């Protein structure tokens, strides 16, 4: 039996479950929201496909805010978008 299977996580944008390593973590620590490509940052985390459309969806329906219990303003979203573009596949 395989015990080291990659855990599945759900993208807060499209709500699809995917292996954790195909998603990117967004962490919220002390009110600061940032991309967490290592998946090791402190604080609450939410997972997202590395795609602009999923981030936009997640923000639009406030799924990201709900998962992280934080308010995300336009500026923060722009920053996240910029950072996410580097990981987009
Ligand atoms: Zn997605």
Domains of the chain: 8-85 (3.30.1230.10)
pLDDT tens-place values along the chain, 89 residues long: 666 789 999 999 999 999 999 999 999 999 999 999 999 999 999 999 999 999 999 999 999 999 999 999 999 999 999 999 999 87
> Contact 22/57 with Cβ under 8 angstroms?
no
The encoded tokens of residue 42 equal 């402190």
User: 44 C-alpha to center of ligand 1: Å?
Assistant: 18
pTM as predicted: 0.88
Q: Which of 21, 16, 74, 9 is nearest to 65 (CA)?
A: 74
Mutual orientation of helices 74-85 and 52-60 as an angle, nearest 10°? Answer: 160
User: 4 C-alpha to center of ligand 1: Å?
Assistant: 24
Distances 81 to 56, 84, 85, 87 between C-alpha atoms, Å = 8, 5, 6, 10
As residues whose CB is below 5 A from the ion ligand 1, the structure lists 11, 13-14, 49, 54
């Amino acid at each position: 039996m395989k015990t080291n299977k990659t855990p599945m996580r759900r993208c807060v944008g499209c709500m699809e479950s995917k292996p954790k390593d195909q998603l990117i973590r967004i962490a919220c620590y002390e009110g600061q929201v940032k991309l967490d490509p290592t998946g090791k940052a402190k604080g609450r985390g939410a997972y997202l496909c590395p795609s602009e459309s999923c981030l936009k969806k997640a923000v639009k329906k406030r799924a990201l805010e709900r998962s992280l219990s934080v308010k995300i303003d336009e500026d923060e979203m722009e920053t996240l978008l910029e950072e996410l573009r580097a990981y987009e596949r």
